[in-house]
């Protein structure tokens, strides 16, 4: 775990990044990132079952 001053700096940087992402999405009306979902549902729809 990060301790002391480094933790505060990392938290502040993360807050600024998250605010930037939200501002981008609000101003452009686009998502900043695309989510690619590959999971059990996608595989089972193709008729291929994952091992137990």
pLDDT in tens, 1-52: 556 666 677 788 889 999 999 999 999 999 998 877 666 555 556 666 667 6
Q: Taking the domains of the chain in order of start, what are their residue ranges?
A: 4-45
The residues, ordered by sequence, that sit 6+ positions from 23 with a Cβ below 8 Å of its Cβ are none
Distance CA 20, CA 32 (A): 10
């Amino acid at each position: 775990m990060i301790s002391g001053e480094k933790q505060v700096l990392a938290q502040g940087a993360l807050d600024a990044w998250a605010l930037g992402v939200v501002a981008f999405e609000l101003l452009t009306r686009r998502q900043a990132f695309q989510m690619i979902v590959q999971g059990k549902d996608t595989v089972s729809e193709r008729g291929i079952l994952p091992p137990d």
